[in-house]
């Protein structure tokens, strides 16, 4: 009887905290929803360290930072905001960090982490005020969709390059690679497997696709089993508290900070609103407890920079958990617990991340999914469509997300002014355009 009474008290405590009955859900439903979300987004613990290690960062340090930053932000989302939304280092932002900020410039990863930290602090301050929404309103919806799609094209191109499906060419800059090469062929097979799983709406198709590709890589002798499947977390000190904030200002990395901030602002806000609407948690078209939800991501970005990873973002994969019945923060808590368990699988994750055929399909498919917003752009309207086109096409071609955004932001108000529609442009947006013009014209980053 005593045990039954304790269980009842525990259930009532959960119900009171997460409002399970009010939202029409149960503990078991929330746990299953959390497992579903985890399977759809856990690929990031493999892909993110693999991407950031290309910037010279220690794989194990980034792996631990990725998991801990995700846990910290997701716990805040679950316990404070009570939403079934997961936060983790964002795809696209990690590629921008590794290949544009570090790989394409004269700064090291420590300074890049400093830029993430500064952006995170500004993010926290904005989340405490209404100015965040003013910034979001200042950016035309066509450019918001273009930025997301451009980042998608950027990371898809990265996946094609990593797998050597696309290779460099002296005459045409890029060309089709040698598809018969073992790693390239395996990438194509892995991509096909993931697409088939995706077509049949298999939950966690990216992660399952990775596992199947890993098995094929092992069979074909392209993957060697790790010395141990699990181990205690190690290497954390190599990335934790290594950021260089002073270098951010000495290198004039203001556009980098702005890019981190801008993408995180509307990407996270858009994802949160979409997932909350899907879960039926919007009230009178408003986002309840918005401050706690926004702070979760802002804190995640800031903590992540201190631990050693790129900015965090709300994951659209959270919608899979909502589809499975998740309605409260208990779903997010479940994901956090499962993420904590992955900390002990560092040897296995390192081996998987070192095989391009395993990670590249995820980059390509996520890139494809991010292109969806292009259908929201009115391509018949030159003033809206051409700046959007420039953003999308220039991100991969210049190997710089910031450059693509900057040129699109400059051209947009110019076209509006030429057409005599200066009042259609938010005053803050003119400031954005001037800042990007100065940055692109006179500074390195």
Within 13 Å of residue 413, how many CA atoms lie on the same side as its CB? Answer: 21
Residue 94, SS3 per DSSP? helix
CB 425 within 8 A of CB 137: no
Distance CA 311, CA 92 (A): 10
Q: Where are the alpha helices (DSSP H) in 128-251?
A: 131-138, 141-162, 182-199, 205-219, 246-250
Distance CA 288, CA 290 (A): 5
- Cβ-Cβ contacts under 8 Å for 183 (sequence gap 6 or more): 163, 164, 222, 355, 356, 357
Q: For the packed helices 2-18 and 329-342, what is the interaxial angle rounded to 10 degrees?
A: 110
| Model confidence pLDDT, tens digit, residues 109-157 | 999 999 999 999 999 998 888 777 777 678 888 998 898 888 889 889 9
CB atoms within 10 A of CB 54: 17
| Model confidence pLDDT, tens digit, residues 12-47 | 667 777 888 888 898 889 999 999 899 888 999 999
Residue 429, SS3 per DSSP? helix
| Model confidence pLDDT, tens digit, residues 56-82 | 999 999 999 999 999 999 999 999 999
Reading the block at residue 61, the tokens are 């340090």
State the pLDDT at residue 6. Answer: 47
* C-alpha torsion sign, points 420, 425, 427, 431: negative
Within 13 Å of residue 409, how many CA atoms lie on the same side as its CB? Answer: 29
Reading the block at residue 434, the tokens are 């001037």
Which pTM was predicted? 0.84
Residue 370 pLDDT greater than 60, yes or no: yes
Reading the block at residue 433, the tokens are 């355009």
Q: Any bridge partners for residue 168, and if so which? A: 174
CB 65 within 8 A of CB 240: yes
| Model confidence pLDDT, tens digit, residues 81-101 | 999 999 999 988 898 999 889
Within 13 Å of residue 9, how many CA atoms lie on the same side as its CB? Answer: 6
Name the pLDDT band for 309 (thresholds 50, 70, 90).
very high
State the pLDDT at residue 18. Answer: 86
Reading the block at residue 312, the tokens are 């965090």
CB 82 within 8 A of CB 276: no
Distance CA 247, CA 225 (A): 40
Averaged pLDDT, 381-398? 94
């Amino acid at each position: 009887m005593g045990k039954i009474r304790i269980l009842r008290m525990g259930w009532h405590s959960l119900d009171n905290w997460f409002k399970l009955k009010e939202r029409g859900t149960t503990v078991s439903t929330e746990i299953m929803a959390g497992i579903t979300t985890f399977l759809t987004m856990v690929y990031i613990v493999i892909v993110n360290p693999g991407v950031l290690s290309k910037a010279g960062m220690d794989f194990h340090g980034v792996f631990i930072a990725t998991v801990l930053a995700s846990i910290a932000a997701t716990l805040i989302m679950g316990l404070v905001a009570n939403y079934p939304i997961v936060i983790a280092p964002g795809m696209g932002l990690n590629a921008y960090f590794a290949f544009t900020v570090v790989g394409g410039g004269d700064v090291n990863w420590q300074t890049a982490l400093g830029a993430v930290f500064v952006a995170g602090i500004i993010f926290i301050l904005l989340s405490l005020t209404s100015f965040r929404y003013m910034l979001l309103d200042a950016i035309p919806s066509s450019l918001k969709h273009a930025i997301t799609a451009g980042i998608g094209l950027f990371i898809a191109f990265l996946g094609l390059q990593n797998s050597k499906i696309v290779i460099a060419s002296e005459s045409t800059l890029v060309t089709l690679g040698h598809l018969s090469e073992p790693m390239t062929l395996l990438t194509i097979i892995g991509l096909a497997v993931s697409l088939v799983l995706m077509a049949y709406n298999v939950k966690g198709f990216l992660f399952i696709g990775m596992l199947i590709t890993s098995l094929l890589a092992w069979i074909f002798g392209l993957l060697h089993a790790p010395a141990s499947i699990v181990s205690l977390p190690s290497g954390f000190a190599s990335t934790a508290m290594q950021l260089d904030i002073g270098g951010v200002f000495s290198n004039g990395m203001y556009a980098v900070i702005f890019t981190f901030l801008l993408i995180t602002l509307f990407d996270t806000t858009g994802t949160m609103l979409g997932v909350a609407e899907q879960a039926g948690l919007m009230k009178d078209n408003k986002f309840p407890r918005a401050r706690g939800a926004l702070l979760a991501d802002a804190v995640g970005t800031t903590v992540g920079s201190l631990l050693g990873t790129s900015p965090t973002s709300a994951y659209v994969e959270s919608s899979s958990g909502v589809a499975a019945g998740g309605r409260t923060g208990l779903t997010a808590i479940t994901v956090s617990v499962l993420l904590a368990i992955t900390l002990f699988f560092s040897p296995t994750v390192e081996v998987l991340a070192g095989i391009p055929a395993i990670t590249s399909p995820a980059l390509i498919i996520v890139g494809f999914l991010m292109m969806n917003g292009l259908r929201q752009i009115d391509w018949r309207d030159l003033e809206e469509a051409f700046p959007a086109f420039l953003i999308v096409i220039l991100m991969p071609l210049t190997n710089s997300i910031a450059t693509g955004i900057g040129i699109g932001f400059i051209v947009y108000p110019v076209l509006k002014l030429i057409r005599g529609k200066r009042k259609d442009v938010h005053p803050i947006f003119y400031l954005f355009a001037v800042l990007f013009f100065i940055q692109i014209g006179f500074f390195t980053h």
